[in-house]
Structure 1
Amino acid sequence: MRILRVFNNNVVLARDALGREVVATGRGLAFGRKAGQDLDESLIARRYVTAQDAGLVGQMLSEIPLGRITLIEEVFTQAVKELGATITSAGLIAVVDHVHQALERARRGERMDYPLRAEVAHLHPEELRLAERMVADLNASQAVRLPDGEAFALALHLFAAATGAGCLQEAAAQSRIVARAIELIDGAAPGGIDQGSIHAARFATHLRYFLARAHTGAQIDDGTADIISAPLRGRHPDAFRLAEEVASLLGECIGIAVRPDEISYLAIHIARLLSSSTPAGQ
């Protein structure tokens, strides 16, 4: 790799063998080095290949202590792994920057508001559990302590990793889509639905992974609708009608048509949710 710019001893901008601009970090990576020289790749701890301006990314990382970058990466990577998701350079950079800024705010004694507390706690309990552990691990390793509320923001970063959302704002938007779908069903069910039930959690998870598939242009297309659509519509007409309404909502929010097989799977989840929420005696 050829050095393009040295930000400090630990962060450089370089060009790799594929011609891409790469931000590389590592302790002492650029000590005594300058632009135009080859990089000792054995010293690289992390390399970032991103669609963002690599120079700006390098500048941002150079302003964060290397030990802090490493700690944030370790705890976030472990949480993403337990979630069964993958992480992109852009996602990792976003988390490093977010946590660094949050720590600096905490150091200055500034208070933060977390407007999506209720939605995150309700819709993303697994991400929140992992995010709370991230906050605990980060606080155990530093003098500056993150407030507990940061777990809600970090849970959205985990949700972004799970769904392939490009940024925290996109993850928050997807979370609101899931909330709107659940509200639609809750409003249509007599007496509402049990939003704390396992069926509600499974429905929310199904929507999350639909959004992840839709993000890449993929949808379920396995012929399920040809087999079960008619009997499902006959046996659970309310569930199928709601599935079509949810599909319409999804299409409106993300700008794509939801395929018949996806609608059938939505109807299955909604039928279970309505059945489990039906008041006794009805």
Structure 2
Amino acid sequence: MKALRVLNNNVVLANDETGRPVILTGRGIGFSSQQGKAVDPTLIERVFVPADDRPHDPDADQMAEALALISEEVLDAVVTALGDVGIEGRESTRPTLAIAIADHVAGALDRAARGTVIEYPLRAEVQTLYATEYAQARLLLKAINARMARQLDASEATALALHLVNAGFVSGDLSFTYTMTGVIQQMLAVVRERYGVDVSHESMNVARFITHVRYLFVRVQQHQQLTGQEATIGVGIRQHYPEATRTAQQLATIVELRLGRRLSEDEVSYLALHVARMTMEADGTAA
């Protein structure tokens, strides 16, 4: 790999063997690199590949600059911890994740130094709706603290989990993830109140519903809703589960009001199928 720009001692913007721009991090990697010269591969700890790998990609420059603004201690702790807990491999296509987490860690350490305490009101929701990410976040927090002179509070696992969830979306900020969390809770409340069923995450069908809705939000955000299967699948679902379909239409209205996006008929049909599964599980029947 050849260096394009040396951002600081630990961050270098380079071109790989195919000519795509990559961001390289590693202790002292910038100190020994020169523009146009090959980068010492033994100093490369992590390779970040921006999603848009065009030559001279301005996003790569901006991401490299953002990484360079983060302190050496925090960047090293976050980048190493992401690899150690298995969230990211040595080569990552999500530099925004490392940037977001490192920026959050830096802010949390600053708040702790000033004695500022933040309560995360979504802790219960995060533990329930995003159990996998929350478990990863706890491991990540432990790994980060193992490499830091100053320690983050255990409550920061909630924020880290939200960043991991947010990594699946196009948007770089957490606002969409916060909205999604509230909407999922609202949807589950509708099912609970309408059918009087337990919607705890221990239920397999509730867990499947949550997973489905999360991917639905990704499709909505990326303008890739399911379409074209209405004639074969949607009609059958509506005929077999008319009550669940009415509930799904109500859920679709919630999504439209909160996101300003109308769901396709196919998306509504699949919501109906998941609603039917949850209610039938409570009745002891199979969908």
Place the TM-score, normalised by the shorter chain, in its bin: 0.7 to 0.9
C-alpha RMSD of matched pairs (Å)? 3.4
Cα deviation for residue 15 of structure 1 reads 7.5
Q: Distance in 1 between matches of 2:27 and 2:205?
A: 48
Contact 1:7 1:62 in 2 (8 A): no
Work out the CA distance in 1 between the residues paired with 2:243 and 2:22.
53
Q: Distance in 2 between matches of 1:110 and 1:160?
A: 25
2:39 paired residue number: 40
List alignment gaps of at least 5 residues for structure 1.
Answer: none
**Is 1:272 matched with 2:277?**
yes
**Are the structure 2 counterparts of residues 213 and 75 from structure 1 closer, same or farther at C-alpha, using a change threshold of 3 Å?**
farther
**Which residue pairs with 1:174 in the alignment?**
180
Q: Cα 1:247–1:48, aligned 2, differ >3 Å: closer, same or farther?
A: same
3-state DSSP of counterpart to 2:168: helix
Unaligned runs of 5+ in 2: 51-57
Report the counterpart of residue 205 of structure 2 in structure 1: 199
Partner of 1:8: 8
1:226 aligns with 2:216: no
CA 176–165 in structure 1, closer or farther in 2 if over 3 Å, else same: farther
In 2, the alpha carbon distance for the partners of 1:59 and 1:87 equals 16
Look up the match of 2:244. Answer: 239
The answer as to whether partners of 1:80 and 1:161 remain within 8 angstroms in 2 is: no
The Cα shift of 1:112 comes to: 1.9
SS of 1:162's partner is coil
What is aligned with 1:65? 72
Q: 1:175 to 1:164 in 2, by over 3 A?
A: farther
Distance in 2 between residues matched to 1:28 and 1:76, nearest whole Å:
20
Query: Does the C-alpha gap of structure 1 residues 149 and 93 become closer, same or farther in structure 2, counting only changes over 3 Å?
Result: same
In the alignment, residue 112 of structure 1 is paired with which amino acid? I
Q: Does the CA contact (< 8 Å) of 1:193 and 1:274 recur in 2? A: no
Which one-letter code corresponds to 2:96 in the other structure? A
* TM-score of the aligned structures, taking structure 2 as reference length: 0.77
Other-structure match for 1:256: 261
Aligned residues: 272
- Post-superposition Cα deviations, 1:190-213, rounded to whole Å, max 9, x if no partner, equal x35433322222111100011122
TM-score calculated relative to the size of structure 1 = 0.79
Q: CA deviation at 1:65?
A: 1.5
Cα shift readout 1:46-98 (whole Å, capped 9, x = no counterpart): 455666694585265344115x423312333545359xxx8522222111211
- Structure 1 distance, partners of 2:239, 2:62, is 59
- What's the offset of the Cα at 1:176? 1.9
Determine helix, strand or coil for the equivalent of 1:110.
coil
1:74/1:118 CA distance change after superposition, 3 Å: same
TM superposition shift of 1:243: 1.1
Q: Which amino acid aligns with 2:161?
A: A
Aligned residue in 1 for 2:26? 26
Identical positions, percent = 31
What residue in structure 1 maps to residue 220 of structure 2? 214
Counterpart residue identity of residue 138, structure 1: I
Greater Cα offset, 199-208 or 232-241: 232-241
Q: Quick one: distance in 2 between partners of 1:275 and 1:134? A: 38
Question: C-alpha distance in 2, partners of 1:81/1:113?
Answer: 28
Report deviation, 1:20: 8.2
Equivalent residue number for residue 144 of structure 2 = 138
